[in-house]
Structures are given as C-alpha cells and as structure tokens.
Chain A
C-alpha cells in the first residue's frame, strides 16, 4: 500500500505539467489501462491504442491499479509504448495477495497490439485491433497444486471499439467487444490449462461507456471466463466504473467489481481504483 501511495504521488506530480507532450488524439480516446497492461477499460482490452500519440507520434503510458475484494487484493502496474496510433507494446506485472489464505501470486504479462482497421471516432466501421498477451505465472507452486498444467500461456484477442458521437441524450457512447482465446485459469493468476483440458477456450468481453462530458465517463464491463479448474468454480467478471480524464496526462478510474467465486471463496466483490499517466512525443 505504501508503494501504491508513492506511485500515486509520483503520477500526480508528473501530471501537473499540462501542455508539454500532450499528443494529438482527442481526450479520452486513449481509453484507460486495463489490469493486463494495454489500453482498455478495467478488465477488458480494447481496440484502442494506449496514450494520445496520433499518426507519426509515440506515447509512453504508466498505470497502477488495485482491486480489493473480500479475500484477495490484486495490485497491477504496467508501462506501455505506442507508436502511430497503430502499435502498442505493454509490460505488466500483477501481484495477487491471498489475504485470507496468506501468500501471493505474481504474474508478468507482455502484450502486443496492432490496429488493423477503422478509426475510433471517424469511421463508420469500428476500430479493430488484434493482440497477443504472453503471460507467465512466477509463483507456480500453488497453481500447480490446485491443478494447473503450465506456468505460461499465450492469449490472443480480436477487439472492436467504436465511439458513436451524439448517441444518447446528446452524449457520446463507446462500445467495445473483444473475443479472446485463452488457456488462463483466473486470467493466468492460477496458471494455464489443466491435466484434463489443454485446449484454448474462447470467451467474449464487453464494455459500454457513456461519456457525460469530455472529461467524465461512466461505464460497465462484462468479462466471460472459462471454468476449467476441478477444485473450484470460476465465474465471469463484472464491473461498473466512473472515469475522470483530468487532461492528456492523467486519468483516474474508480469502480465496483464483482468477481464471483475465486478459488472456493465465494461472492468476491469490492472496489477498483486505477491511475494512468501518459506522455506523447
């Protein structure tokens, strides 16, 4: 928690410089940063490319987030590099604290995203991106003990995002749909594949966001999850959030999450808090 507070202080300091390195993209069109590291909502990767770098521009984005539910705390931090509003490379690190059981599980995620087609704001067709996430569970003893097959896994996803301007009550609406192929158990936090099934599972992930003003948005997400582990049920994830885009350097997302049952601990609900700072050049 202390490092979390330090991160926040550093981000706030950095973000107080408004005009420099702002990038060309319109405010909020870089999205937020998901817990896996790339641009997205909170739990869903979007077709959006992180940061405010438009064509020919680079952007660097740093993000920290915390999910606190009844028996677990998930701390995520990431840094991503984007170019040309087309390419996104992200490095993420997740620490799942097992508050009731004791101990922690760490996962690293290297993500690559490439925009295939469309312009989020300007084209009739949605912006479409393809992405891969190379995930590695760094504390595999516990996942192995509960039935996970591998400490590593590769997720592949196809995402479509579009903003409809003047869609509801004169407000802009963003919808995102993502299809993901994964072997991840609880997104890889409990490893990948099982002894009985090492095949890919296909899941759908969805976000809907209402932009109340250029700076404020509210949204909801649904993340379908596989249910492969024998010892415990795995549920779909949901969240509701409020996002504040202070400027092209700082955004804050606060939300409520419902993660269902995790490793036999039922009804895991709680808060989500995320901070992002981004710079373009």
Chain B
C-alpha cells in the first residue's frame, strides 16, 4: 500500500476534458477579461506614467525604458492571476456550491486526479494569458531578446506554484468573506513586489520581506529573461518556484484527502 492508494486512478485526462468542454461552451468572456487587465496596466502605467519616469535601471545595471521595465513584471502577474483565478475562486465555487468534486469523487477518479486536472486547467489559463501578453510585448517592440520566448514556460512554472498553493489554501475557506483574504494578499503583493518600481526604494527590512514573497521572484526572473541578462539570482528564482510547486502539490493532496476522504 502506497501513499497514493485510493487517491489516484491515472485519469487526469477526464478532468481536463471536462474543463475544456466548459471553456468551449461558456467561459470565453471571463477568460478574455483576465487577459486585458495587465494590458491596461501596461498601457496606462507604461506609456502614461512612463513618459514622466524616463529611463530606469534593469537587471545587471542595464538601462531600460519604463515600459520595458514593467512589462515582464506584468507578465509574471498575469500568469499569477490566471492561475489564482482558476485555483481559488473557481475551486471554491466547485467545492462548496457546485459540489462538482463530490460528484467526481463518487466515480473511479481519486482526489489526486481531480487536483492534478484542476491545477492543469489553471496552468492552461496562465499559459493563455502569458502567450497573449508576450504577443502584446512583441507588437510594442518591448521584447528585445530571444530569451523572451522562455518567458512562456517560466510563466507556466510561476502559474504552477501559485495554482498549487492557491488551491491548498482555498481548501480551508468556507465563506466568501474568507475568500476576500486572497485579494487582500494579492493586491499589495502586486503593487510592492518591484512590479512598478525597483525594490531599492524600500528600507532594507522591507526589502527582505518582499524578497521572501513569490511574486518578487517571478517578476525579477521575467525581467532578466526579457533582456537576456542573468545572474546568480536566476537560479534562486527558479528554485523558489520549483520548491513552491512541489510543496503546493503535496499540500493539495493532503488537503484533498482530509476534505474528501473524511
């Protein structure tokens, strides 16, 4: 008997099929709206505010326009938002109101099939947003290095980390008020994770705090990729999301077992 006995039936595919069927029939408006949010930020902040800001210093001291500075950060945020939307609000609704998971788990599916399928759907949304945003960056001439293409798989990694942790955390929430906590955490993280201005404006203690948060690592990583300028921190950023993803998935499995195998 292994840790996974009774938890996994090797049929993640059926969960994905269901997800795509739903997207194909009705979810387009919601799907697209999440894509526009960072694009609007890019246009308003990048071009509006960017005119006042002028040049800023990017990774390894490379000078960048303000638009080019915030675009990769918005891409990281976009991947995060896509993953979080699917893994928190969608999961919350299906768990507490639609009772979809209860139905799925009365079939031969195990909790791990469901978790993996739902996380994969969240990644798919993250992937769509990342590709769309990268397209916008290309059109605006902000993506200057071929490394920028690597931003897509990295966006997936970021999405995986957030989706897994988001889903695990959501498993504790039982009311809409508690769900609001997610926004209370995400919004300041978006504002202060060196997304819109460099981190060195803060006192050292605040910098350490921000550097412990996942989005900062995502933003820095994306920014390095956008111009192909890497340093020793690149590996740290990648490792951060690697660990976050592994812990998140493990956490999810434990929580699903607790919730559905009471």
Tell me whether A and B are bound partners: no
* Chain A contact residues, CB within 8 Å of chain B: none
